[in-house]
Structure 1
Amino acid sequence: MLIERVLTESDLPLLALIDRSELVEECYRVENAELILYLARFDMRGWPEGEAEENARVLEKCWRSGGWLHGLFDGETMVAAVVVDNRVIHNQGLKMRQLKFLHISRDWRGQGLGGRLFALACEHGREVGAEALYVSATESRNTVEFYQHQGCRLLKQPDPELFALEPHDIHFYCRLD
């Protein structure tokens, strides 16, 4: 049975243990405000070098500034987590909060956990007065189509700061009304 709970500071190192392995065969890119699917093949194993450590720093800063972190555990093992930043982003006439992190361990995918955590993130966003979630999604087909299935739409103009951090990501928003 999975245990669902708000994460504490002591849980932050566990985020790097989520197995994000995936064989990616197709990706999306944005051209002329349209999503274009293209063939790409890479075997994502674990976290790219240094990314887990960078994520830990970013998510600790998010936690310290009032961000919302929520996880799912199988016993003591974190199998999925979602993080919503506390910083307000103004884009497309909406007050948004960024979905900073949403990962499900490979062995736990396909069970609806991603949708469940995304719904909790949306609920949290509404509770803090956000009108939308801002999502900077990796370009893999599975990830992009997951967010589209959750109701996310392509941003006309990504946030300049977030786009500079992740220029290859697909920048979405999901209205919360």
Structure 2
Amino acid sequence: MKAASAQTSMETQRFVVPDDTLWPEKMKSRAMTYLKQYDSCTQSILWAFMEELGMEDRMVLRAGGAMHGGMMSSLTCGVHTAGLMVLGLLAGRDALESGLDGMMPIILPAQRMVKTLTGRIGGHACLEMTGVDFTDLEAAMTYRLSSDHQRCVDRVGDGARTIAELLQDMNAKGELFRF
């Protein structure tokens, strides 16, 4: 019963993207703080946005749990997966039955987000940006404890700021909400 009421409230609630010019820097700072305190590029960005936008469904946060470390395999950077998850929360389809028509509103914004983030943070894969194979847990831990890890912290900050800027721009153009 509780899950049904949580689902209903997420479906009917409208989330507001602030138009404040300082918001992107706020999101950068919050995401970097969370990464430093709790680890996980994806979850740090995802929770920063969820918290700011009033989305408190921990199952969504949990869904990002295996995305850090390039999907635990040095593949797609958590900045990208977090950005797409946030975008999906705002503009993704909410009924599989809507088919391709239901996916159309998010396709171009998602492509734009991936392209912009890749350019801003210098790549899209953890291995290419860090040189670390995160499937090697010893190498991953060595990297995490090294000063090189700060580059990932910076990428998370740059990524969160970029995601916020993109969301503000998309919102101004009416590209975000499906309600």
Range class of TM-score, shorter chain: under 0.3
Larger RCO (CA under 8 A, 6+ residues apart): 2
Report which of the two has the higher share of helix. 2
User: Which structure features the higher share of strand residues?
Assistant: 1
Compute the TM-score of the two structures, normalised by the length of structure 2: 0.24
Which TM-score applies when normalising by structure 1?
A: 0.25
The structure with more radius of gyration: 2
